[in-house]
Amino acid sequence: MKLLFNAFCAAFILVPMVSHAADSITRAQVITELEQLEAAGYNPGVADDSYPENLEQAKAVLERQKNEQS
């Protein structure tokens, strides 16, 4: 019973770690994405109530640019 419990605990801890490692991105990728969003009009330094809308608009601009290039 203790072996089963230990195996369950190990799986409970290791599975999220392995799945997260498969989807990890680098710091350089994050910086590049932030630079692209800022070029599209997103300003993370502004302390106002338009945070989600401002980010979504910048993402929409990037998506339009991506579609125009294709």
In terms of pTM, does the model score above 0.85? no
pLDDT at 43: 85
Residue 24 is predicted with a pLDDT of 80
According to the model, what pLDDT value does residue 47 have?
66
CB-based contact 55:42 (threshold 8 Å): yes
Burial 23-53 (b: 16+ CB within 10 A, else e): eeeeeeeeeeeeeebeebebeeeeeeeeeee
Each residue's pLDDT expressed in tens, for the chain with a length of 70 residues:
666 656 655 666 766 655 555 568 899 999 999 999 999 988 887 767 778 888 899 999 999 998 998 8
Which pLDDT does position 35 carry in this prediction?
A: 93
